Chain A
Amino acid sequence: DGGITQSPKYLFRKEGQNVTLSCEQNLNHDAMYWYRQDPGQGLRLIYYSQIVNDFQKGDIAEGYSVSREKKESFPLTVTSAQKNPTAFYLCASLRSSGTLNTGELFFGEGSRLTVL
């Protein structure tokens, strides 16, 4: 079955440590996204990538880094510079219909990061 796989589902980190969240999709989608979700705040865009080897900062990119070396993979690193990293992280990809952003967004199951 096609879909988006995020791992790990739960992650605990000590302050000062970097951690990498995995996102893999087998939907053959070009564009991929990372969102952060906090209670009462809604989804906020961290980074997105429209094509391999290219990515752009979203609204809250500080303290995060990404790479897009393969179409299928878009890992997110939460660095020690991120001041409040405890959150629910969601990866998504866009199924484009061919014209500019008339596509449909699909999400993985999320990764919950807790900093101890």
Chain B
Amino acid sequence: KQEVTQIPAALSVPEGENLVLNCSFTDSAIYNLQWFRQDPGKGLTSLLLIQSSQREQTSGRLNASLDKSSGRSTLYIAASQPGDSATYLCAVPFQGGSEKLVFGKGTKLTVNP
């Protein structure tokens, strides 16, 4: 059974700091991994989708890496801003190429001005 863990559950940093959020999963036979952002009371916004054949994806100040063999992904946020404050979630397929996704519980990020 696929399980997804995100550590830490919460993180508080000063503005301008570079930071890394972690996501680990138990079944490494996945086709992709997706990172999301969720603001309070809102839906999830897709940030990055990494295919199993890729090792990383970049979008602006965000960089996500994927290491299937170790069952880990990281989301790197450069030069953090108060507007980056949100909960960040990762999700992987239940197994292999399953259409069902399993989500981590998220990391709540607070960037202090």
Interaction A to B = yes
- B-contacting residues of A (Cβ < 8 Å)? 4, 6, 31, 40-43, 45, 48, 50, 58, 88, 90, 92, 94, 99-102, 104-110, 112
Bound-complex Cα distance A9 to B102 (A): 25
Binds A, one of B19-27, B58-66, B74-82, B103-111: B103-111
Dominant secondary structure of chain B at its interface with chain A = strand
State whether B43 touches A43 (Cβ < 8 A): no
- The chain B residue with its CB closest to the CB of A100 is B97
Measured CB to CB, the closest approach of chain A to B98, in angstroms, equals: 6
Note all chain A residues with C-beta closer than 8 A to B100.
45, 48, 58
Q: Which residues of B contact A (CB under 8 A)?
A: 31-32, 34, 36, 41-46, 49, 51, 89, 91, 93, 96-101, 103-106
A4, A41, A58, A101: the one contacting B32 at CB < 8 Å is A101
Q: Which residues of B contact A110 (CB under 8 A)?
A: 41-43
Q: Is the CB of B105 within 8 A of A107?
A: no
Residues of A within 8 A of B45 (CB): 107
Distance to closest chain A CB from B29 (angstroms):
12
Does A107 lie within 8 Å of B104, measured CB to CB?
Answer: no
With both chains docked as a complex, state the minimum distance between the C-beta of B106 and any C-beta of chain A, in angstroms: 7
Question: Would you list the 7 A-B pairs with minimal beta carbon distance, nearest first?
Answer: A100-B97, A107-B43, A42-B105, A101-B97, A107-B44, A43-B103, A109-B43
